[in-house]
Structure 1
Amino acid sequence: MSVQHLADTYLQSGQIDNLPDNHFIDGTFVAGSSGEKMESFDPARAEAFGSFALGSASDMDKAIAAAEKAAASWRKVAPSERCRILNNAARVLRENADQLSVLEVVDSGKTLAEAQGDVAGSARLFEYYAGAADKLDGRSVNLGTANTAFTVREPVGVTGHIIPWNYPTSTFARGVAPALAAGCSVVAKPAETTPYTALVMAGLLTEAGVPEGLVNVVTGLGSEVGAQMAKDPRIKQLTFTGSVNTGVNVMQMAAPNVTRLTLELGGKSPLVAFEDADPEAVADGAYWAIFSNSGQICSAGSRLVVHKSIRDDVIDLLVQKAKALKVGHGLKNPDMGAVNSEVHLGRIKAHVDAAKARGRDILTGGNITTDPETGLGWFFEPTIIADLPLDDPAVQEEIFGPVLAVQVFDTEDDAIRLANGTEFGLIGSVYTRDVGRAMRVSQALDCGQVSVNDYWAGGIELPFGGNGKSGYGREKGWEGLDAYTKVKSITISNAS
């Protein structure tokens, strides 16, 4: 079936056929030990469309045991064979891209175009790390003629992955693909509001030749199965993407076992526009930086730091673009989709209501809305708050919605001070025609990634991660393999 047929079928029936409703453990779908279920909601309709297993500590224990057994065999598989299997996984994901894309839209609320991009990127992740599987070499170390010394990179073992609800498909892939390439096994816990693509992808990976037990998915509450994963000493590497507060809790739970951690947490990323930048390009960049995926992106450009001389031109253009933006059900491919849950919609509203109460200037938006065709769903208007001081909560706190905070500067030093003026340090972007300035400011920004004149420039081949309260460790790129390998040095005496 084509993606359009799948979309139309769901929009007419409100149902998706063959939804997995159990955990995926040791190569098969397994009922949860409690027998209890949770509902998953279509955010654009605010209606449940499926149910899935409410996991328990017992379910997580079974998954980790299966992963531990599988890891012992997988680490012995020739790297070239791991390469072949992961390339096949990429092919199978592409063959099932339409199904995964529609499921991603209905489960998360994003637009079909965004979901299709996520699925394509997920397949590319498996392809990229397939190419790395047989190139994880150590190095020869020159200790002189008395000894021969070299290093090897070994898999860490069982890896745990706590997946967020904003990018359930691509975040699953960006952790699972390098883990498998490195010779590790996986236990994944998807967010309780977006469980389905992880379950479907686990089944597809097994179909593609990934051995049973290597990829396991346990659904349920983070406070139950997620916490159980974080505490388990058999988990040798824990990769978490989510909020700062939850990340701190994960760190504390993993600390007694000295578990290795990769944390990708919050962000309050700046788009810095200098006086020589093209106002149209700045407005377009800021538009996509904050309104993509309804602003529910850790790396969203949630702050526009703009020079006073172009402030009015940029803001006029940006307000026009925001007012023209159309929201609606993601399967109808609007400009912007729904907010993932009613709870999160309330959080966004509370942030904006607080800004209103402080007397801040809301240039456009600022309210909860619905799908204009149906009157249903969890949507928030694209919102721009003008000319905020550095200490304003709308500048300092991650809203994680389609809400842009505008800050105005005069000098280059002032721009850098404002850009670095939060506890976060995930990404930043610089808009200028001056190459020297672009280099100076890029080096001065305290964050993990910088783009110039294109907010979303970059890709799978580049490392991604943050500084400060945005977390630590890097995913994607060659550096994404570091979390899943450990280095051992071996020295041999040449004495007779």
Structure 2
Amino acid sequence: MTADQLIATYFETGRPPDLPRDHFIDGRPAVAEAGDRMESFDPGRGVALADFAVGDAADVDRAVTSAVAGFGIWGATPPAQRCAILNEAARLMRAEAEQLSVVEALDSGKTLNEARDDIAGSARLLEYYAGAADKLDGRSVNLGNDNAAFTLREPVGVTAHIVPWNYPTSTLVRGIAPALAAGCSAVVKPAETTPFTALMIADLLVRAGLPAGVVNVVTGTGIAAGAPLVRDPRVRHVTITGSVATGVGVMQSVAPNVTGLTLELGGKSPLIAFGDADVDKVVDGALWAIFSNAGQICSAGSRLLVHRSIHAEVRDKLVIKARALRIGHGLRNPDMGAINSARHLAQIADHVENARKRGVEIVLGGTRVVDPDTGEGWFYAPTILDDLPESDDAVLREIFGPVLVIQVFDDEAEALTLANGTEFALAAGIYTKDISTALRMARRVDAGQVTVNDYWAGGIELPFGGNRKSGFGREKGLEGLEAYTRSKAVTLAV
């Protein structure tokens, strides 16, 4: 079915066709041991769209057991064959992109165009790591004597992937693609509000030639399914994207087993606009840095640090553009889609209401809204809070929604102090025409990735991850392979 047909079917029936609804274990759908089920909701309408299996420790045990057996097969598979299978998976993902995109938009609340970009990027991730699968070489070491020495790069074994709800497909693939390239197997626990694309992709991988058991998916809650997964001693590396509190809990859970860990956590990333910056570029950059995916992005540019000389002009132009953004159901392709859940919508609203009570100036938005076409759904208006002090709660805490905080600075030293003034250090954007200013700030700002004059510049070839409470470890780029391999030194006395 085409995207238009899928969308028409959904709006006519309230149910998308052919959704997978059970776990995916050992190469096929698997019902939950306890038989429990829960509903996933369409955020654009605020109604349930389908139910799915709720996993528990017994389901996790089955999945990890399957992954152990799968690793025995996949780890011994020739790298060139792993490369071919990952490339075939990328081909299938592109062939089935419209169905995956519709489900992604429907389940997460984002716009169809945003979902299409996510699927296209995920196919590219598979290709990128396919190209690395047969190049994970060791090195020959000169010990200065007649002994021969070399290193091997080996897969770590079974890996666990805890996937968030804001990017269900791309976050999944950026974790499992390098793991599979390295020869690891995987057990995936998608977020309970966005389970379906993970199940679809697991099936797609098997159809691409991946042996049964190499990728398994257990759906359900973090407490019932995620917790026993990360605690399982057979899991040798855990990759998780989530909140700081969740990350701390996972660190404590994996510690007894000395399990490897990649944490991608929160952010309060600054977009820094100097007085010489192109104002229109700053406005466009800031607009999409915070309102893409309704602000539900760990690396969103949620703080606009602007020089006093251009503050009023930037703010006023930004208000005009943000006010014009079209909000609506993601499948109708507006400018901005829905908030993923009623619970998260309430949290965003509480943040802004508390700011209002503190006397913060709200120059735009600050209210819950609905789809103007239907009067339904979980939406929050594009919101801008102006000229906040560095100690304000809205500056320091991650709101994770379409809420931009503006801070004003007078010189470079103050801009740097403000940029590094939170406990997060995930991303940063710098807008200036002065290359010296850009390079100085890029070196001094604490962030895992810095862009200049284009907030979303970069790509999958570059490492992604944060410092301090934004986490540790890197995904994407060649660095993304490091978590899934270990080095072994071999010396031969001759």
**TM-score when normalising by structure 1:** 0.99
- CA offset at residue 230 of structure 1? 1.1
Partner residue of 2:301? 301
Question: Could you tell which deviates more after superposition, 13-22 or 480-489?
Answer: 13-22
Partner residue of 2:453? 453
CA contact (8 A) 2:6 2:17 kept: no
Partner residue of 1:135? 135
- CA offset at residue 36 of structure 1? 1.1
AA in 1 matched with 2:477: G
SS in 2 for 1:49: strand
Partner residue of 2:196? 196
Partner residue of 2:291? 291
Partner residue of 1:181? 181
- CA offset at residue 10 of structure 1? 1.4
- CA offset at residue 116 of structure 1? 0.1
- CA offset at residue 12 of structure 1? 2.4
Partner residue of 2:469? 469
**TM-score when normalising by structure 2:** 0.99
- CA offset at residue 72 of structure 1? 1.1
- CA offset at residue 238 of structure 1? 0.1
Return structure 1 stretches of 4+ with deviation > 3 angstroms: none
For 1:165 and 1:212, the matched residues in 2 are separated by: 26
Q: How many residues align?
A: 494
1:403-414 paired onto structure 2 within 5 Å: 403-414=403-414
Partner residue of 1:438? 438
Partner residue of 1:32? 32
Q: Find out whether 1:274 has 2:274 as its counterpart.
A: yes
Partner residue of 1:77? 77
1:150-161 paired onto structure 2 within 5 Å: 150-161=150-161
Give the fraction of aligned pairs with identical amino acids, expressed as a percent. 62
- CA offset at residue 146 of structure 1? 2.5
Partner residue of 1:168? 168
Q: Find out whether 1:220 has 2:217 as its counterpart.
A: no
1:3-82 paired onto structure 2 within 5 Å: 3-82=3-82
AA in 2 matched with 1:275: G
For 2:106 and 2:73, the matched residues in 1 are separated by: 37
- CA offset at residue 224 of structure 1? 1.1
Partner residue of 2:417? 417
Per-residue Cα deviation, 1:334-391 (whole angstroms, up to 9, x for no partner): 0000000000000000000000000000000001110001000000000000000111
Partner residue of 1:487? 487
- CA offset at residue 56 of structure 1? 1.1
For 1:481 and 1:133, the matched residues in 2 are separated by: 10
SS in 1 for 2:309: coil
AA in 2 matched with 1:122: S
AA in 1 matched with 2:129: Y
Q: Find out whether 1:146 has 2:165 as its counterpart.
A: no
CA contact (8 A) 2:73 2:211 kept: no
Q: Which runs of 5+ in 2 are unaligned?
A: none
AA in 2 matched with 1:410: D
- CA offset at residue 151 of structure 1? 1.1
For 1:363 and 1:13, the matched residues in 2 are separated by: 40
AA in 2 matched with 1:264: E
SS in 2 for 1:310: helix
For 1:48 and 1:90, the matched residues in 2 are separated by: 31
CA contact (8 A) 2:269 2:301 kept: yes
SS in 2 for 1:236: strand
- CA offset at residue 490 of structure 1? 1.0
Partner residue of 1:351? 351
1:203-352 paired onto structure 2 within 5 Å: 203-352=203-352
CA contact (8 A) 2:27 2:213 kept: yes
- CA offset at residue 305 of structure 1? 0.3
For 1:15 and 1:53, the matched residues in 2 are separated by: 17
AA in 1 matched with 2:251: M
